[in-house]
Structure 1
Amino acid sequence: MRPEILFPLFAELTTVPGIGPRFTRLYEKLAGPKIIDLCWHLPVSLVDRRYAPTLHDAQPDRIATLTVTVHDHYPPANRRTPYRVVCSDNTGQIELTFFHVKGDYLARLLPIGETRVISGKVERYGNRLQMTHPDHVVTPDKQDEIKRVEPVYPLTAGVTNKPLSKAISHAVSLCPEMPDWMDRGIMQKEKWPGWKEALLKAHNPDSEDALHPLAPARQRLAYDELLANQLALTLIRQAQTARKGRAIKGNGQLREKARALLPFDLTNSQEEAVAEITGDMEGPNQMLRLLQGDVGSGKTAVALLSMLAAIETGAQAALLAPTEILARQHMESLGPIADELGLKAVLLTGRDKGKARKAILEQIEDGSANMVIGTHALFQDDVNYQDLALAVVDEQHRFGVHQRLALAAKGKSKDPLSGQVAALDMLVMTATPIPRTLTLTAYGDMDVSRLTEKPPGRKPVDTRTVSSDRMEDIIHAIGRALQSGTKVYWVCPLVEDSEKSDLAAAEERFEALQSHFGDKAGLVHGKMKARDKDAVMEAFAKGAVDLLVATTVIEVGVNVPEATIMIVEHAERFGLAQLHQLRGRIGRGADKSTCILLYHAPLSETARERLSIMRDSEDGFVIAEKDLELRGAGELLGTRQSGMPEFKLADLAFHKELLPMARDDARLILHNDPDLQSERGQALRTLLYLFERDATVSYLKSG
């Protein structure tokens, strides 16, 4: 149960004065559905209203807070001219101008002969001082209502800064003083304020420096969030590693034969990964390991040898792929090797129906199928394994944790002494290079193996950046390439303009290219039915389609060695990690490959830097680290789909040094106080609830 002290912070936004039903949805979209979400919505800039000169000394183009007397009102002669109000102090005059404002409202706001405190941007118009639509107009006794330094928050259409600022002030005022969960030594060393003081300071910056992610108040809040994240992951990890697995120790015969069948020798990092995985499998506890390898680094070979280690013991192994086409590709590469080894590999996808499906299910259940490859169909209710010992999940980020768990539940082997069901060993793989920092935050519950080399024989991809002004030249060059038997990818842009969808952009480009190349051009996009998409992909891989126009659905897993050219249109709109993933679709055969990044000028500084990194590097891990630096964790393209945590206060581009600190702190805490029963432990339970890690609290003994 969430501690009572936090109840006010988890109330709905509708309880905040000024947020009626009309605005609730807008505020939810901007910050989140609860009051605590407003507390985490930090300012991005500020308006400094401390400059309070006389009118004689007031400098144009500065925000000023002025005390003036109202002289005269001059209503407009027509609707196109402004309503003017002349004010003065004993050193000069200023004209306030208002557009589309009713005179009776202004007469009440600025009565002639009375003193008012006004704040806004001073401008010079001819030889007169002017202020258009002052931000604040109050009587002198209410001048304290004008914040001398006003925070400016990220906004969305329909929400303005003034009411949002009010709502956030209300939310922050509800924050209680809480027992501090922070280690005293860390606080003193870093000179960080207490939690509530940090929150107040973050929302009331007194200078530009206070807005920086490395300002002490902001660092403190970021550390709280990272500590909650690391504490939660460490708790999950402890619960998982305590789960009894089964010791899977084969005799090595199948693996030895398989190595002889592979057309290449394993790289050093492949050998290391195989040793780490089989070492885990031989241990008594459940294996949960992440295999990270760049596109083309040979993850499939590592997966094969891991599966054979399980099969050597008489058990089964399953390989789960996110799409049918990827599952079929795995079957095409692993099936023949299984046959040579005298094993039975079967493919199960959603497409299998009736008698064919029944026959596959029987082979899985009676154990005659040693290796099972498929899509999410592998963990449906009617799929029963005789003895599943290892599950390999490819492209991990396409599956949620619950899907991983559904597959894990298919392992049924029991410890002969205790009768306990042994937890299934799991190897999850990703071709998305993840910066080390993010690996810690998203996969801290797993051990990690990394493949850092490419298998011998892989040729580098020649990457070029070309302006879209040269579109005609590119189309002619593609015509020549198609005539020589080359296959080409043309990736369409992520569309920013809300009038137009990614799909519309792809269809438009497809029609233009089809007019040049006829039936040689094919189109795939995310809105197509899986069967239609697979048919086009099949025609591209093995048939008459030589030019594939696509949205980013081809980013992961498609293997067409004959494709040696890729055009990425509007490359400046893509993140580095995604450009790298797309480029990984080519350079898979013996022929030289070229990737053309078509950009539209003018380029922003960040876009220019991104494109030059792509031109200069093929190392996915280097590219991922650069992407994190340039875009920040929240914006790494694909983050939302990848199971990455979205931090509200921590910005890993700035706070990555805090992450190992938080990890070590979390480990030490749980080593000394495994059930968080001490005084600090109880405060840390509150921290877990504050950052909505409620589920992990269930791993603790009550108290």
Structure 2
Amino acid sequence: MSTRPPELFPLFAGLETLPGVGEKTARAFAQIGVEKPRDLIFTLPHSGIDRRLRRSIREVVLPATVTVEVEIGGHVAARRKGGPARVMVRDVATEFQLVFFHAKGDWLEKQLPSGQRRVISGRVEIFDGVAQMAHPDHILRPEEARGLPDFEPVYALAAGLTQRGVARAVQGALTRLPVVAEWADAALVAREGWPGWAEAAARAHAPQNMADLAPTAPARARLAYDELFAHQLTLALARSQLRRAKGRISKGDGALRARTLAALPFAPTAAQARAMAEIAADMAGPMRMNRLLQGDVGSGKTLVAFMALLVAVEAGGQGVMMAPTEILARQHFDSLAPLARAAGVRLELLTGRDKGAERAAKLADLAAGRIALLVGTHAVFQREVEFADLRLAVVDEQHRFGVAQRMELGAKGRAADMLVMTATPIPRSLSLAQYGDMDISLLDEKPPGRKPVKTALISTARLDEVVAHLRRALAEGRQAYWVCPLVEDSETVDLASAEERFRALRVVFGEGVVGLVHGQLPAAEKDAAMADFVAGRTRLLVATTVIEVGVNVPNASIMVIERAETFGLAQLHQLRGRVGRGAADSTCLMLYQAPLTGPGGRRLQILRETEDGFRIAEEDLAMRGAGDVLGTAQSGLPRFRVADLERQAGLMAVAQSDARALLSADPGLESPRGRAARLLLWLMEQDRAIRLISVG
């Protein structure tokens, strides 16, 4: 089934084929991401209005929306042009006014003829002691009022759309729902008491009360599950595709690893040992490894990755570690070099800087297998870089690469195993959404010797004290970071820029003591400034968030973050993780502009309470929402219309195990349930998954 099933055609037709939708309305719908009837099905109402008929407006606490039958009294015309016209009405218990602005008198007479009865519905407020309903939502003859729902759904609108127009288009789309076979696991549907897909869609658009609008309502939970299941099915297909690509069995004798461990001043943590065992087992199997190594700042990912690389070498092959920037690649090289010496294997660095004869010699040695381990930027995947026998590719800071790039990387090594590392703790629901195609190893304890970082909140009014504290620390031979929010002063945003701060601190501490690094510096200058700081030539580094990821200077024990309340939680946690890497006690000073209130204040409190990156990530998700936590645009995180990753993390896990179970039982999706799942993939526009099935 590599073309769209005909039963879905009506849902993928133009919006103009729906009642009441012309070209102009279709353009308005496009603003809220609705381009075809299928999109409308998944655009659910966000709230609702109680339209039950009341005897009198006195039965409800005002202000409120009320539906009531009234007798129409006299009309009072507007006194001035554009002023309010009023119509007096009476229900069984009291009199009140209907108010209309810019209304034509003859239209009002026709809509609300004096002496007749009408059912009106709208918001009633008390104004100058008088109850008023301005511009009723509905004016109906009593016999027509039976068509008014007791509870009316409310949709998100864009300019050019009305509630009535959206509701009418939705009803039109719902008439096109095909009869579909069940793709969800029968036991799950029975246990949760979920309706079938089409019934769930119809019910979600016809809520009977506020409870029906909750993510946990059966119809909504069912639709959310379908969305997550289709997404996880796509990831599971990608995963099985990678695994079907025959892996290489890489089994080592453990000799190089034993040598490295013997040279370490401490034993690995239980979490590190567990991750090493999981990775070695994957590499020894016939399937291709596709594993994520997720650990907090300073949890010891580098050692685990190095041990995995040694498995490749013990098995007679080569390994490569790749970082997103040259600074990080150089750091990985520096931290792996002593381990490689202990193991007695040759480790080389390859970056864009290698030129001419030196580069040619490295490439020749790599192709001949004389270099066992290579560290570099993604330049290592250029065509002229050839390995003799690449068995393992380790990729650092994965959130910079999407699923598509992961697949590309995997293609480079002939069946090379893949290990991806991230220092960004991600809440479970998000890691399943983003890395559902991978197996996950978690490092959730800190290695011995990592000291806690003391975190203090200080008002910017006390800047002088901070500078005095720094002066004492630098005099004792310590190093410090000073992180600023923006690169250049902007009139509108009163955030001290890095360049301003650099000049001010240079006056205080003298030439040659203070360095500067920010994103707009040319790469060579940035690297030079970092190298000066790493070597201890500069003692204070003024920086923007360029240093958030991976910078390792054990002697730096103070982190000052200016206007900390403007940073995100995860970012602050990453920045704080840059200190506390050496023997000295470390501090992180978060400078805030008083008064400290709202989300900014909440974020700084959380950081003061905990250093647990996973707890911080969960809090971050609760405060900001999924898209922001990962920066949706660059994260490859899917945009769900119904599913709510913050509140439905459990459903995501269920969807993942269901998708994997279905594929292991029915890899080609040929069974009746498998064929229903194919239809779901078409319905959810998971074209990539469909291509994978047709390839498979």
For normalisation by structure 2, the TM-score amounts to 0.86
Q: 1:289 to 1:562 in 2, by over 3 A?
A: same
Q: Secondary structure at the match of 1:409?
A: helix
* 1:387 Cα deviation after fit: 1.9
Give me the identity figure in percent: 48
Q: Assess if the C-alpha contact under 8 Å between 1:540 and 1:548 holds in 2.
A: no
Partner Cα separation in structure 1 for residue 17 and residue 486 of structure 2: 38
Q: Secondary structure at the match of 1:581?
A: helix
CA deviations over 1:487-519 (Å, ceiling 9, x no partner):
444445699xxxx99996666465256435447
Residue number among 171, 174, 177 corresponding to 1:175 in the alignment? 177
Counterpart of 1:673 in structure 2 is 666
* 1:170 Cα deviation after fit: 4.0
Counterpart of 2:238 in structure 1 is 236
Q: Assess if the C-alpha contact under 8 Å between 1:385 and 1:410 holds in 2.
A: no
Counterpart of 2:427 in structure 1 is 435
Partner Cα separation in structure 1 for residue 642 and residue 252 of structure 2: 47
Q: 1:590 to 1:38 in 2, by over 3 A?
A: farther
Residue number among 657, 660, 678 corresponding to 1:685 in the alignment? 678
Question: Residue 586 in 1 paired to residue 587 in 2?
Answer: no
Counterpart of 1:416 in structure 2 is none
Counterpart of 2:538 in structure 1 is 544
Partner Cα separation in structure 1 for residue 693 and residue 6 of structure 2: 19
Counterpart of 1:83 in structure 2 is 84
Q: 1:564 to 1:109 in 2, by over 3 A?
A: farther
Q: Secondary structure at the match of 2:291?
A: strand
| Structure 1 residue identity aligned to 2:90 | D
Q: Secondary structure at the match of 2:207?
A: coil
Query: Where does 1:290-439 land on structure 2 (aligned, <5 Å)?
Result: 290-338=292-340, 343-412=345-414, 423-439=415-431
| Structure 2 residue identity aligned to 1:88 | V
Q: Secondary structure at the match of 1:654?
A: coil
Q: Assess if the C-alpha contact under 8 Å between 1:70 and 1:110 holds in 2.
A: no
* 1:337 Cα deviation after fit: 4.2
Q: Secondary structure at the match of 1:369?
A: coil
Q: Assess if the C-alpha contact under 8 Å between 2:292 and 2:441 holds in 1.
A: yes
Q: Secondary structure at the match of 1:317?
A: strand
* 1:57 Cα deviation after fit: 6.1
Q: Assess if the C-alpha contact under 8 Å between 1:72 and 1:112 holds in 2.
A: no
Q: 1:56 to 1:260 in 2, by over 3 A?
A: closer
Paired residue total: 684
Counterpart of 1:450 in structure 2 is 442
Partner Cα separation in structure 2 for residue 298 and residue 52 of structure 1: 66
Counterpart of 1:72 in structure 2 is 75
* 1:295 Cα deviation after fit: 0.8
Partner Cα separation in structure 2 for residue 358 and residue 139 of structure 1: 88
Counterpart of 1:418 in structure 2 is none
Partner Cα separation in structure 1 for residue 579 and residue 348 of structure 2: 28
Q: Secondary structure at the match of 1:134?
A: coil
| Structure 1 residue identity aligned to 2:558 | I
* 1:396 Cα deviation after fit: 1.5
* 1:140 Cα deviation after fit: 5.7
Counterpart of 2:456 in structure 1 is 464
Q: 1:90 to 1:644 in 2, by over 3 A?
A: closer
Counterpart of 1:603 in structure 2 is 597
* 1:595 Cα deviation after fit: 2.5
For normalisation by structure 1, the TM-score amounts to 0.85
* 1:375 Cα deviation after fit: 1.2
Q: Assess if the C-alpha contact under 8 Å between 1:55 and 1:88 holds in 2.
A: no
Partner Cα separation in structure 2 for residue 25 and residue 521 of structure 1: 55
CA deviations over 1:574-633 (Å, ceiling 9, x no partner):
5543432232222122222222445564634x6665544322222223333444455554
Question: Residue 511 in 1 paired to residue 500 in 2?
Answer: yes
Partner Cα separation in structure 1 for residue 36 and residue 355 of structure 2: 46
Q: 1:494 to 1:215 in 2, by over 3 A?
A: farther
* 1:698 Cα deviation after fit: 4.1
Partner Cα separation in structure 2 for residue 524 and residue 195 of structure 1: 54
Counterpart of 1:624 in structure 2 is 617
Q: 1:227 to 1:105 in 2, by over 3 A?
A: farther
Q: Assess if the C-alpha contact under 8 Å between 2:181 and 2:676 holds in 1.
A: yes
Q: Assess if the C-alpha contact under 8 Å between 1:564 and 1:591 holds in 2.
A: yes
Partner Cα separation in structure 1 for residue 147 and residue 515 of structure 2: 63
Q: Relative to structure 2, which stretch is displaced further, 683-692 or 238-247?
A: 238-247
| Structure 1 residue identity aligned to 2:438 | M
Partner Cα separation in structure 2 for residue 472 and residue 157 of structure 1: 51
Q: Relative to structure 2, which stretch is displaced further, 115-124 or 292-301?
A: 115-124
Unaligned runs of 5+ in 2: none
Q: Assess if the C-alpha contact under 8 Å between 1:95 and 1:131 holds in 2.
A: yes
Q: Assess if the C-alpha contact under 8 Å between 1:479 and 1:517 holds in 2.
A: no
Q: Assess if the C-alpha contact under 8 Å between 1:506 and 1:550 holds in 2.
A: no
Query: Where does 1:124-163 land on structure 2 (aligned, <5 Å)?
Result: 124-137=126-139, 143=145, 147-154=149-156, 161=163, 163=165
| Structure 1 residue identity aligned to 2:85 | R
Partner Cα separation in structure 1 for residue 143 and residue 522 of structure 2: 67
| Structure 2 residue identity aligned to 1:452 | D
* 1:116 Cα deviation after fit: 5.2
Partner Cα separation in structure 1 for residue 503 and residue 456 of structure 2: 24
Query: Where does 1:460-499 land on structure 2 (aligned, <5 Å)?
Result: 460-466=452-458, 474=466, 477=469, 481=473, 486-491=478-483
Q: Secondary structure at the match of 2:123?
A: strand
Q: Assess if the C-alpha contact under 8 Å between 1:71 and 1:87 holds in 2.
A: yes
Q: Assess if the C-alpha contact under 8 Å between 2:257 and 2:343 holds in 1.
A: no
Q: Secondary structure at the match of 1:346?
A: strand
| Structure 2 residue identity aligned to 1:550 | T
* 1:471 Cα deviation after fit: 5.8
* 1:150 Cα deviation after fit: 2.6
Q: 1:656 to 1:6 in 2, by over 3 A?
A: same
Q: Assess if the C-alpha contact under 8 Å between 1:567 and 1:595 holds in 2.
A: yes
* 1:685 Cα deviation after fit: 1.4
Q: Relative to structure 2, which stretch is displaced further, 261-270 or 636-645?
A: 636-645
* 1:196 Cα deviation after fit: 1.6
Residue number among 629, 639, 651 corresponding to 1:636 in the alignment? 629
Q: Assess if the C-alpha contact under 8 Å between 2:51 and 2:151 holds in 1.
A: yes
Partner Cα separation in structure 1 for residue 416 and residue 383 of structure 2: 17
Q: Secondary structure at the match of 1:657?
A: helix
Counterpart of 2:9 in structure 1 is 7
* 1:391 Cα deviation after fit: 0.6
Q: 1:34 to 1:348 in 2, by over 3 A?
A: farther
Partner Cα separation in structure 1 for residue 137 and residue 560 of structure 2: 49
| Structure 1 residue identity aligned to 2:202 | L
Q: 1:173 to 1:400 in 2, by over 3 A?
A: same
Counterpart of 1:661 in structure 2 is 654
| Structure 2 residue identity aligned to 1:618 | E
Q: 1:595 to 1:220 in 2, by over 3 A?
A: same
Unaligned runs of 5+ in 1: 413-422
